[in-house]
């Protein structure tokens, strides 16, 4: 029984040794350098054809291709145009107008149709009186000259009577008028000055928003740039570690064949190599992701690589924390934006107050007409004047808008104070 057991154990031991030898040969075949998936030629830091950029050149490319920065530049130009438009509100408004009107009927007055008995009666009495004078004057006094004069007076009154009996035309059916008008606000409650100051603050705010966008974009570029540098160095280091573990594993296989080390040590070398290989693959995946991020922020379709290396200068002394806090409070764009918003809210309150104040304007006009009717002859050629307006009751909610502007002023004041407290705490 014992002999049988020993024989079976010897067979199992010999079969396991042969299996180990076969697995060792298979592992050695699988882990030859020609079949290693190191992919070192595909790494950005090992590619001689890839374009390398310094941080300065990369930032120049970002400034020229980043659409977010371009959008803020357009916002600055827009604010500049709005500022100029606010200044132009001090100019007068000059309009050239033309009118053509077709009337259904001419404007006229018909005394005959109106049956004016007083006019007809007065005309008849004058005519009768002249006839009586002519009849009562002696013939020796009524010289030919006097008789001719009396006949002329009677003919004149007859013509007047016929004229009064005919319709009097004031205007024809076609009326054409033109006017050159001017309106110049003299006093608007200070609204124009307030709008100019608001437009100026809006331009400053657009500049600060652009600075903030530029700063955040630069921080993102530095993060991506040196992140790729760090990932490349990590991938390169792990690749060297993988090569070292592979060499150690190959040496372990050779030493196991000659019986210098046990199988367990060979398996340990294999496990160490597998771990190094997996870590190297992960590092290359991270490097590939950072490569995509770097290409994206540069808006490039071709692969680009940083040329700078990580350098930490420990010999330089940094300023105190108070210096950084003071510099931030004085120049950080976000705090400047809050300060501009405070000033804008104050000016907006003044703009709402102007709606309660009177308004005074100068106006004038020069009228161009055809002068072919009595109505057009009655219209003056030009006129000037001064107009005033004092709003008493308005459906626009002036009081509520004033209260809302005061609340907005308190809101931005609180935000500014809290922002300064936050920076001081840092």
Nearest Cα to 295, choosing from 72, 53, 73, 68?
53
Does residue 259 have a pLDDT over 90? no
| Strand order, beta sheet including 93-102 | 93-102, 174-187, 359-369, 382-389
The per-residue pLDDT for range 323-347, each reduced to its tens digit, is 877 887 788 888 889 899 999 999 9
DSSP H stretches of helix in 32-115 = 55-65, 67-87, 111-114
pLDDT of residue 130: 62
Does residue 44 have a pLDDT over 60? no
The per-residue pLDDT for range 390-412, each reduced to its tens digit, is 989 888 899 999 999 999 999 99
One DSSP character per residue, 171-186 reads E-SEEEEEEEEEEEEE
CA distances to 86, 177, 367 from 173, rounded to whole Å, are 45, 13, 19
Cβ–Cβ < 8 Å for 105, 170: no
One DSSP character per residue, 127-158 reads HHHHHHHHHHS-TTT--HHHHHHHHHHHHHHH
pTM: 0.70
Q: How far apart are CA 208 and CA 205, in angstroms?
A: 5
Q: How far apart are CA 106 and CA 171, in angstroms?
A: 6
Does residue 356 have a pLDDT over 50? yes
Cβ–Cβ < 8 Å for 214, 69: yes
Q: How far apart are CA 212 and CA 75, in angstroms?
A: 13
Predicted confidence band at 228 (pLDDT cuts at 50, 70, 90)?
Answer: very high
Q: Can you give the C-alpha Rg of the chain in angstroms?
A: 51
Nearest Cα to 70, choosing from 184, 257, 230, 217?
217
Sequence-ordered list of residues with C-beta below 8 angstroms from that of 20, at least 6 positions apart, any chain: 263
The DSSP bridge partners found for residue 175 are 101
The structural domains of the chain, with segments of one domain joined by +, span: 21-102+187-311, 333-357+398-426
The per-residue pLDDT for range 144-157, each reduced to its tens digit, is 666 666 666 666 65
What secondary structure letter does DSSP report for 355?
G
Predicted confidence band at 370 (pLDDT cuts at 50, 70, 90)?
Answer: confident
Does residue 26 have a pLDDT over 60? no
Rounded to 10 degrees, the C-alpha dihedral 297/298/302/305 comes to: -90
Instruction: Tell me how many degrees the CA angle 181-187-188 measures, rounded to the nearest 5.
Output: 95
* CATH of segment(s) 21-102+187-311: 1.20.1600.10
């Amino acid at each position: 029984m014992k002999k049988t057991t020993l024989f079976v154990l010897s067979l199992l031991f010999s079969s396991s040794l042969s299996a180990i030898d076969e697995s060792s040969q298979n592992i050695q075949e699988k882990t030859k350098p020609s079949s290693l998936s190191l992919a070192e030629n595909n790494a950005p830091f090992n590619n001689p054809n890839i374009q390398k950029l310094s941080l300065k050149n990369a930032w120049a490319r970002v400034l020229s291709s980043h659409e977010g920065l371009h959008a803020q530049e357009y916002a600055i130009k827009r604010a500049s145009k709005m500022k100029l438009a606010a200044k132009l509100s001090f100019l007068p408004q000059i309009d050239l107008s033309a009118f053509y009107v077709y009337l259904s009927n001419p404007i006229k007055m018909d005394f005959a149709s109106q049956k004016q008995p007083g006019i007809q009666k007065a005309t008849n009495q004058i005519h009768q009186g002249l006839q009586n004078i002519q009849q009562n004057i002696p013939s020796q006094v009524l010289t030919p000259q006097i008789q001719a004069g009396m006949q002329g007076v009677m003919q004149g009154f007859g013509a007047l009577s016929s004229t009064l009996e005919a319709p009097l035309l004031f205007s024809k059916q076609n009326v054409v008028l033109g006017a050159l008008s001017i309106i110049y606000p003299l006093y608007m409650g200070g609204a124009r000055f307030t709008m100019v100051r608001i437009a100026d603050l809006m331009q400053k705010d657009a500049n600060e928003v652009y600075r903030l966008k530029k700063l955040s974009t630069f921080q993102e570029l530095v993060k991506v740039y040196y992140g790729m540098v760090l990932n490349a160095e990590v991938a390169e280091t792990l690749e060297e570690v993988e090569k070292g573990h592979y060499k150690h594993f190959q040496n372990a296989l050779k030493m196991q064949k000659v019986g210098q080390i046990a199988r367990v040590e060979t398996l340990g070398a294999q496990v160490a190599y597998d771990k190094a290989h997996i870590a190297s693959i992960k590092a290359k995946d991270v490097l590939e992701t950072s490569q995509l991020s770097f290409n994206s922020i540069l808006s490039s379709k071709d692969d680009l690589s940083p040329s700078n290396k990580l350098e930490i200068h420990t010999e330089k002394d940094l300023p105190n924390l108070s210096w950084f806090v003071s510099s931030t409070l004085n120049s950080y764009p976000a705090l400047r934006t809050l300060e501009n918003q405070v000033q804008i809210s104050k000016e907006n309150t003044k703009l709402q107050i102007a709606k309660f104040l009177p308004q005074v304007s100068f106006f004038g006009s020069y009228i161009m007409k055809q002068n072919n009717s009595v109505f057009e002859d009655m219209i003056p050629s030009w006129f000037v004047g001064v107009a005033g307006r004092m709003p008493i009751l308005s459906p626009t909610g002036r009081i509520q808008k004033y209260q809302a502007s005061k609340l907005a002023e308190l809101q931005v004041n609180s935000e500014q104070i809290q922002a300064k407290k936050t920076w001081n705490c840092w």
